[in-house]
Chains A and B, each alone.
Chain A
């Protein structure tokens, strides 16, 4: 446990997350883990971490962090960039690593496009494992850093004091957040609790994510979904992606911190490949749904994972002459109108 960063300002909701906590759902423990699994995996890959290392998940507004180890290599994946105190020029964009030395202060400026962004550090953040995971579950207050979001004055620990000197790297192409893509679902397991009209409405309507959404579930506003009769079921299991419809007739998509069981019928389930695509959408974003078969869902998942591996294998060295990719910066709205999502 080596102190690597000190929290000057915590940001709106910054938590440690990894691939999630598996094997305890039968005793009511949610999976947790990164809302955007792909962003999380890319962040770790960019700094050379093994899969499974803990990252900071940043929601709402970014933290300000001081390097307390000899040096650190960090990267932000999401939208926005890293402003480093005392350095001239433009911020380091999302998807590009940066090497910082003791005493330097980095300010994470979110672009506002992605609901959540990931900050990885070479070597990974180190906290004691809680039920086999470093993910923070704030509702029950365990995992991550004392089961809570970062606070000013916190010390973050890592595994290395001095990040090796080497060329900085970046993603070869700007990451497409696919904000307009329909979210694919498999109908069920309780689609038989809904009228035919309700199924058609779900698949043709446009919903929007309401501000009452969090890591547990995204509450949607839009056309109402009618139950055939009852909207209570005898509780059964829930997964990330379950779309439950309570008496309000409005869908709630359960996300990373979803409770393990629930008593509302689930009209459909978001396919695993599309959970990260939904996970990066914040309040106000539009959501459309499209129905696929389970077999298609599995095919899409495998193709999506292959695509992620391709993106990782195309990570390239940042050339000296263009250490900052101006075009990428324009694309990410970093130059005109840098905003924090909760400003």
Chain B
């Protein structure tokens, strides 16, 4: 397949770009190539970062050259097509009750649904993790049902609490850390999405599937306590990519 171009980021990275859209087919192509390049262990390549529509291959220019790397990647990219990896489908508990969801009532009003209907619509969709970015462990997941697609808030919050479930445009995400944020907050998950003390660091990886499961405030508190005791891992099943 010859559907990409390679752009330089000085002598620090090559950007392998598959178009400029957020598109599930492009994402699958990016993730399949990420997998191929990771298992190829290219000499001098230090990181492989998948995004919506491109792949950054960072390298150490004392160990290799962009030209050598470009040749190796081009050869592999033409062969790499579909992903063979078995991915995870995660079952993530979320409390959508208004005290845990500061923007849900307003959104329900805007789109002409009840709060319960907004929660059911959001939880009734299976999402694809396109990429992790913005802050450590922040998963960009899509695509939202058409009815839930709204522009970002006009007044971004300076502090979004950790665990906040958010939506904006066609995407949904969970804030692993307290940070500024302009997305609408429609729930809170008790799960820990990023733990620098664990070997894998981030719970979700690009390519994973995610379904959200509505829980009551009581269940939320029980799970949060278990998370604090390091005694809770959300359920997951294996799915073909």
Contact = CB atoms under 8 A, between A and B. Distances in A.
B12 A239 contact: yes
B135 A139 contact: yes
B138 A269 contact: no
Interface string A100-121: 0000000000000000000000
Interface string A223-252: 000000000011111011110000000000
Interface string A299-342: 00110010000000000000000000000000000000000000
B196 A143 contact: yes
B202 A27 contact: yes
Given A28-B138, A297-B10, A235 B131 contact: yes
B196 A142 contact: yes
A174 interface: no
B4 interface: no
B10 A271 contact: yes
B17 interface: yes
B75 interface: no
Nearest to A269: B10
B202 A189 contact: no
A236 B54 contact: yes
Nearest to A29: B136
Interface in B78-133: 131-133
B136 A27 contact: yes
A27 B61 contact: no
Contact of B61 (A139, A240, A262, A298): A298
Contacts of A23: 46-47
A26 B52 contact: no
B74 to A, nearest CB: 15
Contacts of B196: 29, 130-131, 140, 142-143
B206 A26 contact: yes
Given A25-B47, A140-B177, A236 B10 contact: no
Contacts of A272: 10-12, 61
Contact of B48 (A26, A235, A270): A26
A294 B61 CA distance: 10
Contacts of A240: 12
Nearest to B15: A189
A175 interface: no
Nearest to B140: A235
A261 B9 contact: no
A260 interface: yes
A116 B52 CA distance: 35
B58 A259 contact: no
B205 interface: yes
A212 to B, nearest CB: 15
B50 interface: yes
Contacts of B48: 26
Interface in B123-176: 131-138, 140
A302 B62 CA distance: 6
Contact of B17 (A185, A236, A271, A298): A236
A83 B79 CA distance: 62
Given A233-B20, A236-B51, A28 B132 contact: yes
Contacts of B17: 189, 236
Contacts of B201: 24, 27, 29, 131
Nearest to B48: A26
A294 B8 contact: yes
A166 B55 CA distance: 50
A266 interface: yes
Contacts of B131: 235, 261
B66 interface: yes
B81 to A, nearest CB: 21
Given A26-B132, A131-B196, A236 B177 contact: no
Interface string A179-216: 00000011011100000000000000000000000000
Contacts of A298: 11, 61, 65-66
B21 interface: yes
B151 to A, nearest CB: 12
Contacts of B56: 25, 236-237, 239
B25 interface: no
Given A266-B9, A301-B11, A235 B133 contact: yes
A16 B140 CA distance: 31
Top-6 shortest CB links A-B: A237-B56, A261-B133, A27-B202, A269-B10, A189-B7, A297-B11
20 contacts: A22-B46, A25-B56, A26-B34, A27-B137, A28-B135, A28-B194, A140-B135, A234-B52, A236-B15, A236-B52, A236-B56, A242-B9, A262-B133, A269-B8, A271-B10, A272-B12, A295-B65, A297-B10, A298-B65, A302-B61
Given A131-B201, A141-B177, A268-B10, 18 more contacts: A26-B34, A27-B205, A28-B135, A28-B136, A29-B136, A30-B136, A130-B197, A131-B196, A139-B135, A143-B196, A185-B10, A186-B8, A234-B52, A237-B51, A242-B9, A261-B134, A294-B11, A297-B10
